[in-house]
Structure 1
Amino acid sequence: MKSLKITSLVAAAAVTISAFSLPASAADRVYKLKMAETWSSNFPIFGDAPRNMARIAESMSNGRLKITIDSSNKHKAPLGIFDMVRSGQYDMGHSASYYWKGKVPNTLYFTTMPFGMTTPEQYGWFYHGGGMELMQKTYQPLGLESYPGGNTGNQMGGWFQKEINGLEDLKGLKMRIPGFAGEVLAKLGAKPTNIASGELYTALERRTIDALEWVGPSLDLRMGFHKIAPYYYTGWHEPATELQFLVNARAMKKLPEDLREILRVSMKLASYDMYIQSYHESAENWVTMKTEYPNVEVKTFPKEVLAAMKKANDELLAEKAAADPLAKEILDSQAEYMEKVRVWTNISDRAYLDSIDSLDK
């Protein structure tokens, strides 16, 4: 599944955008943007999202907006997207906001949070609950604009060389895990690190790390982790992992208003399409994994481990909020929205699944 059939959506957006009046010279001019992505060339799903976006933007603009994409094997800096876009070396980037927490700590909250919102809940927060405004408030002082860039859905908790039976098993555990979840595990004695995707298999195989989390069946199967780590844990840390389209604000301002709107619509469409694609591929690959690799043991972390993770998470959130007014504003907004929306999730999706499951028991 490479892309969503969006003809009707594009047509509807084009009608809206046609309301912008353009001088004849502007209507004929072609604008070109350069994008850098964290992912290697031909990387599925993650790499499909920016290409979908570029294709949609060019089609909706009748060829007036063209976006070229450089993969990490060309620009050689998979975790350098933030700096390259901010400096103007590239006009746009496709990556994940939580990769920049070492540069601007408040950026990490816009990817996902442990024990946080599911994907539909998080999209509701972004587009209707004030999330987009808070994201721009974080990025605009840096000369950047940030937009949702595609969601993986709930991610698996990772591949482990050894079974996790209690808190002691986390002590000294070397694990590739980015974002806030890494801070949670560090508080419990683990040694989190972040490694680019192309280096993950080798690091796990050579025991440079003891465990890693990547995404889920949609992408993990092709990475081959099941060949070298027998334990596959369910998730807690990234219930709605949103990638990111990062845009240089100066580059955005150079576009006429109709192309700015086309770009925003294209990013939004491509992001939702990636969520659908990721969900589909996870379902397909899960069947393959269980059929062809039956020795993989799917585990859930023990209750005492999850409880300790949740306690550490809550303590860290309180520390972040106390130390930074903007962090407090973001975290309060997320907490308030989740408290409200989770009531509906429980009486809709959760109640439906529980009632249907009960019929089979």
Structure 2
Amino acid sequence: MKSLKLTTLVAATAVITTLSLPAFSAEKVYKLTMAETWSSNFPIFGDAPRNMARIAEEMSAGRLKINIDSANKHKAPLGIFDLVRSGQYDMGHSASYYWKGKVPNTLYFTTMPFGMITPEQYGWFYHGGGMELMQKVYEPFGLMSFPGGNTGNQMGGWFKKEINTLDDLKGLKMRIPGFAGEVLAKLGANPTNIASGELYTALERNTIDALEWVGPSLDLRMGFHKIAPYYYTGWHEPATELQFLVNKRAWDKLPADLQQILSTSMKLASYDMYIQSYHESAENWATMQQEYPDIKVKTFPQDILVAMKNANQELLDESAAKDPLAKEILDSQAAYMKKARVWTNISDRAYLDSVDSLAE
């Protein structure tokens, strides 16, 4: 009798265990395609989607495979939104603020001038309602958006001429995307957006007078310092977050466990890109100092920064007044930053101010 009860218990446990497992065929392989804004072998930005694809394949034991096409192949570096929305690709890797001409509310999810730094912004995304608001923006287009890797605080750009007064901004042709471009336009500059592969040529041929790209992590290899010696510190992109776009129909075809694996892989690859970018900036800035001592690091004069901040606030107010969803997003960001910045000030800022004041 005891043996029979034990046998029955083991059999019942096996049935329950089987029923609780995800229903999928171990042999079935799900293949996704991804289009990226970046050219082939583009470092850091291009590393993030490849790391994500590798992690997803390894975690799924080969059941989820993602093939990535660079801009060299699909020929639409700033067309990722449409490529994924149409279903031509299942996924994309780009930056949300590139779509402001199509959907203005997308630009708030990359970074904002005078806004949150990276840890604050990640806190907002994952714990402060940012992800929910981002999905609210992308859902009507059959898309899902996830953080896709952060550069940290970006430099303010490379300039051929020093910027001393507000008049120096008037008529300035500068490659600068996102909300920052609108701020400079309000101050008389002529902002434009150019794909990464065309930046050096545009600067060299005087198509533009200045540009911002990222920071030492990527700027060194681009060679901008050979043409524009003035390197300004940042104000416009304190936490530039790239983006994984996913076609909702493609997402819904995945089993629940692969959806979780894909989500986790994107999150891990994004954080890893932030670490990599920070490291490469430190390494490349040391190289710049040694090999290119003529680079002149500048900070915009106080009156220009004040004018930028005032123009930024005016534009924010205009956006909020025109669109209830924009107001909801901007109010959420402002409230979170106000709360988080108190901690930033008494932790990171206080620490840096304290130790920097000590004699070496």
1:136-175 matched pairs, under 5 angstroms:
136-175=135-174
Distance in 2 of aligned mates of 1:65 and 1:230: 46
Q: Deviations over 1:57-87 (max 9, x none)?
A: 0000000000000000000000000000000
1:258 aligns with 2:257: yes
Residue 22 (structure 1) aligns with: 22
Shift of 1:27: 2.6
Shift of 1:260: 0.3
Distance in 2 of aligned mates of 1:284 and 1:222: 12
Q: Which ranges of 4 or more aligned residues in structure 1 deviate by more than 6 Å? A: none
Residue 284 (structure 1) aligns with: 283
Distance in 1 of aligned mates of 2:73 and 2:249: 24
CA 1:163–1:20: 2 relative to 1, 3 Å: farther
1:155-234 matched pairs, under 5 angstroms:
155-234=154-233
CA 1:255–1:20: 2 relative to 1, 3 Å: farther
Distance in 2 of aligned mates of 1:20 and 1:149: 32
1:20-59 matched pairs, under 5 angstroms:
21-23=21-23, 26-59=25-58
Determine helix, strand or coil for the equivalent of 1:331: helix
Distance in 2 of aligned mates of 1:66 and 1:101: 31
Distance in 1 of aligned mates of 2:247 and 2:178: 23
Residue 60 (structure 1) aligns with: 59
Distance in 2 of aligned mates of 1:56 and 1:208: 41
Determine helix, strand or coil for the equivalent of 1:215: coil
Distance in 2 of aligned mates of 1:307 and 1:177: 19
Distance in 1 of aligned mates of 2:159 and 2:22: 57
Percent identity over the alignment is: 84
CA 1:20–1:249: 2 relative to 1, 3 Å: farther
Q: Deviations over 1:127-150 (max 9, x none)?
A: 000000000010011100000000
Determine helix, strand or coil for the equivalent of 2:73: helix
Determine helix, strand or coil for the equivalent of 1:28: coil
CA 1:298–1:259: 2 relative to 1, 3 Å: same
Q: Tell me, which stretches of 5 or more residues in structure 1 are unaligned?
A: 1-17
Determine helix, strand or coil for the equivalent of 1:26: coil
Residue 81 (structure 1) aligns with: 80
Answer whether contact 1:99 1:179 (CA < 8 A) is retained.
Answer: yes
Distance in 1 of aligned mates of 2:359 and 2:39: 44
Distance in 1 of aligned mates of 2:112 and 2:277: 19
Determine helix, strand or coil for the equivalent of 1:44: coil
Residue 313 (structure 2) aligns with: 314
Distance in 2 of aligned mates of 1:329 and 1:256: 33
Q: What RMSD in Å do the two structures reach over aligned CA positions?
A: 1.1
CA 1:20–1:290: 2 relative to 1, 3 Å: farther
Shift of 1:28: 1.9
Residue 3 (structure 1) aligns with: none
Answer whether contact 1:20 1:258 (CA < 8 A) is retained.
Answer: no
- The structure with more radius of gyration: 2
Aligned positions, number: 343
CA 1:19–1:132: 2 relative to 1, 3 Å: farther
Distance in 1 of aligned mates of 2:287 and 2:89: 39
Determine helix, strand or coil for the equivalent of 2:25: helix
Answer whether contact 1:53 1:269 (CA < 8 A) is retained.
Answer: yes
Shift of 1:231: 0.2
Shift of 1:285: 0.1
1:338-349 matched pairs, under 5 angstroms:
338-349=337-348
Determine helix, strand or coil for the equivalent of 2:144: strand
Distance in 2 of aligned mates of 1:358 and 1:336: 31
Distance in 1 of aligned mates of 2:135 and 2:22: 27
Determine helix, strand or coil for the equivalent of 1:145: strand
Shift of 1:106: 0.1
Distance in 2 of aligned mates of 1:51 and 1:201: 25
Shift of 1:123: 0.1
Q: Deviations over 1:136-191 (max 9, x none)?
A: 01001110000000000000000000000010000000000000000000000000
